[in-house]
Amino acid sequence: MPRNLRKCPVGLPVHVIQRGNNRQVCFAAESDLKAYAHWLGEGATKFGVEIHAWVFMTNHVHLLLTPATEMAVSNLMQYLGRLYVRYFNFQYQRTGTLYEGRFKSSIVQTRKYLLACQRYIELNPVRAGMATDPGDYAWSSYRAHALGCDVHMWTPHAEYLTLGHNKPSRTNAYRAMFTSELEQELVSEIRHAANTGLALGNDKFKEEIQQLTSQRQQHLKRGPKPKP
CATH of the domain at 112: 3.30.70.1290
Instruction: Please tell me the distance from the alpha carbon of residue 72 to that of residue 23, in angstroms, as a whole number.
Output: 26
pLDDT at 211: 87
- What is the percent of the chain with per-residue pLDDT over 90, rounded to a whole number? 81
CA-CA distances (angstroms) from residue 228 to 88, 223, 224, 225?
56, 15, 12, 9
Tell me which amino acid residue 82 is: R
Query: Is 186 within the bounds of a domain?
Result: yes
Q: Domain range for residue 33?
A: 14-206
Q: What's the pLDDT tens digit per position in 188-225?
A: 999 999 999 899 999 999 999 988 887 776 654 444 44
Query: Is 26 within the bounds of a domain?
Result: yes
The region, left, alpha or beta by phi > 0 then psi within -120 to 50, assigned to residue 148 is left
- Quickly state the pLDDT bin for 112 (edges 50, 70, 90): confident
Q: Higher-confidence residue: 30 or 9? A: 30
Is residue 28 within 8 A of residue 92, CB to CB? The reply is yes
Say how many C-beta atoms besides its own lie within 10 A of residue 86's C-beta.
11
How many Cα atoms are found within 13 Å in the side-chain-facing hemisphere of 223? 2
Query: Is 65 within the bounds of a domain?
Result: yes
pLDDT at 6: 63
Query: Is 74 within the bounds of a domain?
Result: yes
Query: Is 28 within the bounds of a domain?
Result: yes
pLDDT at 111: 85
Residue-averaged pLDDT of the chain:
91
Query: Is 220 within the bounds of a domain?
Result: no
- What is the percent of the chain with per-residue pLDDT over 70, rounded to a whole number? 91
Sort strands 104-107 and 60-67 into parallel, antiparallel or unpaired: unpaired
Query: Is 4 within the bounds of a domain?
Result: no
Look at residue 4 and tell me whether its pLDDT is greater than 70: no
**Could you give phi then psi for residue 82, rounded to 5 degrees?**
-60, -45
Q: Which letter does DSSP use for residue 197 in this model?
A: T
Number of independent structural domains in the chain: 1
Look at residue 2 and tell me whether its pLDDT is greater than 60: no
pLDDT at 20: 95
Average pLDDT estimate for 166-182: 96
Query: Is 150 within the bounds of a domain?
Result: yes
